[in-house]
């Protein structure tokens, strides 16, 4: 055994025995002073090897011993508080991490209230005020990563960040001001700055350091909701320290890069809100969004689309940060495309809150202001298409603020995207929001040079409007004189090429089996694309041939991936799969419903299964489904245009005749609606019941009752849609009973989207099952549903859930007179 370790161990054992048993104040003081020489704070210091052995192995044992003896009588063994100061010096001068852990351990283990608890709390407050927390964190910046080190860091991290909560639980009304969160976290920020300064000094001296522990402290504090307190101290100081100092900037970048993924959103949101501008944010973050996928998602998706609480200056700071470096500018262009698409989405216009729509509108204009002409020119067509679709959808809205928002953004965006052409102009009343949006339209200066802007800024050849004038001294039209007017082709009518088709080297498949073969085994991409485009029509045209290979077709389409760029690939695949399901509903629907719970499927494929089942059920429930499907089948590859097609000139003539003809009596304006049996009646069970069988059983790849709540919400909405489409069918009562049991099992789900699906499902049951059957077969389920709906309508936090619950209660109100006798004893 090492003689140094043995000597230290024997002396510590003897000292612990004296401290535990002696009541002689002088003896205790001499023992403590002999132990202090291992801390290096006395004139007679122990050798360095003995100090390291004591700190590594015995220091915590000594601290626990003196804490165990703490009492009023023990401290009064010497006058004038001599023993108290000597006792406290071990915590204030020894290894900081061990002293901090023993302090927290003794406070959490002490009886409340007690003398020992208050003395340890006061000592902890003194520990914090003397800067010892910086020593705790600094000690973790130089340690080598290992299992013991990671365990120690996790323990320290929990207690450093959770200190106010832990002390509050123990002290309660006796809580000291130093432990209040509004006081503690700014102090923690100051200590982090001191440690960062020590890290910078060590790096300048050629020593290796790590800021990983500091990143974890920052992340955990922000996750606890203390961004303002800690970042309010950090950001102003780092803003000054990083200005013109590359080493400080690299340390800050590393500090944020090492933040755990689960805390990245809280940290980035706090930094974006605390930074006074994009320049500061760029110095603090660097190119983090290009290195971390999580940071990129937060900065370009979460803060732009899923949250809308940021103020306009914060939004300008966020998007300005993306625009300040050539490596980040492509993310700004992509964000603009997605923002414009969301801004113009008819679904978003109908369902998104007006505040979120305003937020997205501001983000669109800020992006446009930051992008240069060359960048906008590269994607102008795509942006203009999204803008025009969005304007149309917004002008169709019944809400004046939505329409006014569309007109304002369209005016500004069109002028920015197409400055040389006519800009859109609308008449509307200006308000505060309109003036704020117009103020965002001023372009920002684009960084000079390709290295900063991210795109070449040289003019595209042939686009200079005055090139001919500069080269030849005058416009070409002026040199040719009046002969140019004779050659003008402005009056010529362009040839109609709308019916032209692209010529292909491969022949379009003429049979369903040919399509199946091309999709599975063909290496000819043109044949593969042609098969996909022709499949829907062939399936509807040849139902008998489709039924022979329906399951194989469904399996191939479900796993089909886009091998080459095909316009509208997802739509073609989905429509073909719907057509196969409509043609052979019983077998294909049951197969798809079973595959929904099978292994080795992605969440996207499972959502596709739900969409296909609902669309197929909708098609089957329409009158004349099979006849209409056969009529919609696409013609074969060699078919000729119908001779009954009306030429364009004849249609114009007939329209003129119709307008000038006077009629004294008019018959029916249109054909009567087609009548026929509900084809969904016989197969509704194949669509519905397999989807309900295993929702509560987790699978290796997904868990509906766990993290995959989005898929559970889609399932609830799909089941409600299938229930609604089964109106007045024979199996509707059984479906309604099963669906109400499903709703009752999940009625307390925490996700609002799932609850909306459950509420919609209840409404579907009430609309689909006849009232007599509801009262006869489902009285108990209806009463349970009614009590839950009333609770949701009054107390649910989600506004849409409350609205859906009220609608369902209105449907139940029609059955009130019959339900009341059932509920009476």
CB proximity list for 228: less than 8 A, separation 6 or greater: 270, 274
What domains are there in the chain, each with its CATH number? 512-621 (1.25.40.720), 683-820 (1.25.10)
Rg (CA), the chain: 37
Looking at residues 122-145, what average pLDDT do you find?
A: 87
Sign of CA pseudo-dihedral 727, 730, 731, 734: positive
Exposed/middle/buried for residue 761 (C-beta within 10 Å: 0-12, 13-18, 19+): buried
DSSP state string for 58-100: IHHHHHHHHHHT-SHHHHTTSGGGHHHHHHHHHHHHS-HHHHH
Band (pLDDT 50/70/90 cuts) for residue 503 is: low
- Give the whole-angstrom CA distance, residue 209 versus residue 144: 10
Per-residue pLDDT, averaged over 569-591, amounts to 91
Full DSSP string of 277-308 = SHHHHHHHHTTHHHH-HHHHHIIIIIIIII--
Segment 235-260 shows an average pLDDT of: 92
User: Which carries the bigger pLDDT value, residue 632 or residue 391?
Assistant: 391
pLDDT digits (tens, 9 = 90+) for 304-363: 988 888 888 999 999 999 999 889 999 999 999 999 999 888 888 888 888 898 899 999
pLDDT band at 636 (very low <50, low <70, confident <90, very high): very low
**Chain centroid to CA 544:** 46
Q: In this model, does residue 237 exceed pLDDT 90?
A: yes
Point out the least confidently predicted range of 172-186, 294-308, 552-566, 630-644: 630-644
- pLDDT above 60: residue 469: no
pLDDT band, residue 583 (cuts 50/70/90): very high
Of the two residues 2 and 61, the one the predictor is more confident about is: 61
Please give the pLDDT value at position 797: 85
d(CA 140, CA 640): 80
Mean pLDDT, residues 607-625 taken together? 86
Residue with the bigger pLDDT between 476 and 700: it is 700
pLDDT tens track for 690-744: 988 888 787 777 778 888 888 898 999 999 999 999 887 888 888 988 888 888 8
Residues 11-47 have pLDDT tens digits of 888 888 888 888 777 888 888 888 888 887 666 777 7
| pLDDT for the residue numbered 455 | 32
**Mean pLDDT in residue range 643-647:** 45
Residue 577: which pLDDT band, with cuts at 50, 70 and 90? very high
Q: Nearest-CA neighbor of 710 among 665, 739, 675, 749?
A: 749
What integer is the mean pLDDT of 204-225? 92
pLDDT of residue 252: 94
Give the pLDDT confidence score for residue 664 in this predicted structure: 62
Q: What is the predicted pLDDT for the residue at 467?
A: 36
Q: Is the pLDDT of residue 482 over 60?
A: no
Residue 269 has pLDDT above 80, yes or no: yes
**Is the torsion defined by CA of 75, 78, 79, 81 positive or negative?**
negative
Position 471 scores a pLDDT of 38
Please tell me the predicted confidence (pLDDT) of residue 517: 83
Does residue 637 surpass a pLDDT of 50?
Answer: no
What pLDDT was estimated at residue 31?
A: 84
């Amino acid at each position: 055994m090492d003689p140094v370790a043995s000597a230290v161990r024997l002396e510590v054992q003897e000292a612990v025995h004296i401290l535990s048993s002696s009541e002689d104040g002088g003896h205790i003081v001499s023992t403590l002073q002999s132990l202090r020489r291992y801390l290096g704070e006395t004139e007679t210091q122990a050798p360095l090897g003995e100090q390291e052995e004591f700190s590594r192995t015995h220091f915590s044992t000594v601290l626990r011993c003196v804490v165990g003896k703490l009492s009023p009588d023990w401290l009064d063994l010497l006058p004038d508080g001599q023993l108290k100061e000597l006792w406290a010096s071990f915590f204030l001068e020894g290894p900081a991490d061990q002293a901090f852990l023993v302090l927290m351990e003794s406070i959490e283990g002490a009886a409340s209230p007690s003398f020992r608890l208050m003395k340890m709390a006061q000592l902890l407050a003194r520990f914090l005020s003397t800067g010892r927390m910086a020593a705790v964190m600094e000690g973790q910046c130089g340690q080598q990563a290992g299992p013991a080190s990671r365990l120690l860091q996790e323990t320290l991290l929990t207690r450093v960040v959770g200190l106010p909560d832990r002390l509050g639980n123990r002290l309660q009304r006796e809580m000291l001001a130093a432990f209040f969160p509004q006081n503690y976290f700014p102090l923690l920020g100051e200590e982090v700055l001191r440690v960062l300064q020590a890290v910078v000094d060590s790096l300048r001296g050629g020593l290796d350091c790590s800021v990983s522990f500091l990143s974890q402290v920052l992340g955990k504090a922000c996750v606890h909701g203390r961004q303002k307190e800690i970042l309010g101290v950090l950001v102003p100081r780092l803003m000054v320290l990083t200005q013109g100092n590359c080493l400080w900037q690299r340390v800050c970048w590393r500090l944020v890069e090492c933040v755990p993924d689960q805390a990245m959103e809280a940290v980035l949101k706090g930094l974006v809100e605390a930074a006074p501008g994009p320049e500061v944010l760029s110095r603090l973050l660097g190119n983090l969004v290009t290195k971390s996928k999580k940071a990129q998602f937060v900065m370009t998706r979460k803060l732009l689309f899923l949250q809308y609480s940021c103020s306009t200056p914060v939004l300008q700071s966020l998007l300005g940060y993306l625009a300040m470096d050539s490596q980040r500018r492509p993310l700004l262009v992509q964000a603009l495309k997605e923002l414009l698409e969301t801004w113009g989405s008819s679904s978003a216009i109908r369902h998104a809150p007006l505040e979120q729509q305003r937020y997205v509108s501001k983000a669109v204009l800020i992006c446009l202001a930051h992008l240069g002409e060359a960048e906008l020119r590269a994607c102008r067509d795509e942006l203009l298409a999204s803008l025009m679709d969005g304007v149309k959808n917004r002008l169709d809205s019944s809400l004046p603020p939505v329409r006014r928002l569309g007109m304002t953004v369209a005016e500004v965006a069109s002028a920015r995207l197409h400055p040389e052409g006519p800009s859109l102009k609308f008449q509307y009343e200006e308000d505060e929001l309109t003036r704020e949006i117009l103020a965002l339209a001023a372009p920002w200066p684009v960084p000079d040079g390709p290295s900063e802007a991210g795109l070449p800024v040289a003019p595209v050849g042939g686009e200079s409007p005055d090139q001919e004038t500069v080269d030849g001294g005058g416009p070409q039209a002026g040199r040719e004189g009046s002969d140019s007017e004779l050659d003008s082709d402005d009056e010529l009518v362009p040839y109609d090429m709308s019916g032209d088709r692209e010529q292909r080297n491969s022949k379009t498949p003429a049979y369903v089996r040919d399509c199946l073969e091309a999709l599975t085994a063909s290496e000819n991409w043109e044949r593969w694309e042609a098969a996909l485009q022709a499949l829907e029509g062939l399936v509807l045209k040849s139902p008998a041939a489709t039924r022979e290979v329906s399951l194989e077709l469904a399996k191939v389409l479900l796993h089909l991936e886009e091998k080459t760029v095909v316009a509208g690939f997802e739509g073609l695949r989905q429509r073909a799969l719907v057509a196969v399901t409509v043609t052979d509903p019983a077998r294909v629907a049951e197969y798809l419903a079973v595959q929904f719970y099978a292994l080795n499927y992605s969440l996207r494929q499972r959502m596709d299964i739900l969409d296909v089942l609902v669309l197929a059920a909708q098609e089957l429930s329409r009158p004349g489904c099979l006849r209409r499907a056969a009529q919609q089948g696409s013609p074969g590859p060699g078919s000729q245009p119908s001779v009954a097609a009306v030429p364009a000139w004849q249609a114009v003539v007939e329209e003129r005749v119709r307008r000038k003809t006077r009629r004294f009596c008019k018959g029916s304006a249109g054909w009567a609606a087609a009548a026929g049996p509900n084809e969904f009646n016989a197969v509704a069970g194949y669509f519905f019941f397999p989807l309900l069988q295993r929702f509560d059983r987790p699978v290796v790849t997904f868990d509906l009752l766990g993290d995959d709540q989005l898929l559970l919400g889609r399932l609830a909405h799909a089941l409600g849609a299938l229930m609604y489409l089964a109106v007045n069918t024979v199996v509707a009562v059984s479906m309604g009973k099963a669906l109400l049991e499903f709703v009752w099992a999940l009625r307390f789900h925490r996700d609002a989207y799932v609850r909306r699906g459950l509420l919609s499902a209840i409404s579907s049951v009430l609309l689909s099952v006849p009232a007599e059957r509801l009262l006869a077969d489902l009285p108990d389920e209806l009463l349970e549903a009614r009590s839950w709906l009333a609770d949701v309508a009054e107390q649910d936090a989600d506004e849409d859930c409350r609205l859906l619950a009220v609608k369902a209660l209105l449907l139940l109100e029609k059955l009130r007179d019959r339900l009341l006798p059932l509920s009476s004893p």
